[in-house]
Amino acid sequence: MKTKIIALLFFAFCWSCGKNIDRETYGEYQKNGQQITEDVQAVLLQNVGAAIQKGGSEYAVEFCNLQAGELVDSLNEVYNCMISRVSAKNRNPENALQTNEDKQLWEIFSARNVADTLIQSGNNLVYYKPIRIGLPACLKCHGNIETDINTATRQKLQHLYPADLATGYQLSDFRGLWKIEFQKNH
């Protein structure tokens, strides 16, 4: 019963947010959002993987703290959009749920296995796609604080992110949302 209610809320929310988006536009921006999130995730994973190889997971935490934002910002310019990640269990406070849409979609995505969606928010089209824990290496920084994350990495996380909420995950867990904001073409 709860699943049916959540599904109905999801479809009502998406319909009300997307009712001004025609099919062609929806398809175009959804495809663009999918491609951008795949590209950004690949760039981040490649760089984090290289950081782990270079200095272990504690070095990767420092890399993410200093350079992940810059990587994403440079891709904003490449794709002419605003790329961000949002989560109720954020590590970086800048990635906290900010808008009512973020909060509503977080509830929907966390309750159901939803692939992605596109909504209209003011003059912008906003694409959301779930982020899941996809690799065992992710657990070295996002896993169980006692069993998956080594002492040096825990200390680095506590130092760089004293209010860290992004641990305790297992493989395939829902961790956050990609959020891609497009300025709607007129």
| Burial bucket for residue 18 (CB in 10 Å: 0-12, 13-18, 19+) | middle
List of E strands, the chain: 82-86, 117-121, 124-132, 174-183
Cβ atoms 68, 161 nearer than 8 A: no
Structure confidence at residue 4 as a pLDDT band (50, 70, 90): very low
Nearest alpha carbon to residue 9 among 126, 89, 104: 104
Q: Hey, how many other C-beta atoms are within 10 angstroms of the C-beta on 77?
A: 8
Q: What is the CATH number of the domain that holds 69?
A: 3.30.450
Instruction: Please give the model's pTM, rounded to 2 decimal places.
Output: 0.85
Q: What is the pLDDT of residues 101-138, one digit of tens each?
A: 999 999 999 998 888 999 999 889 999 999 999 999 99
Does residue 140 lie within any of the structural domains?
A: no
**Tally of domains within the chain:** 1
Nearest alpha carbon to residue 142 among 119, 168, 116: 168
Does residue 167 lie within any of the structural domains?
A: no
Q: What is the pLDDT of residues 33-76, one digit of tens each?
A: 999 999 999 999 999 999 999 999 999 999 999 999 898 989 99
Does residue 141 lie within any of the structural domains?
A: no
**What residues make up the domain containing 128?**
2-134+172-183
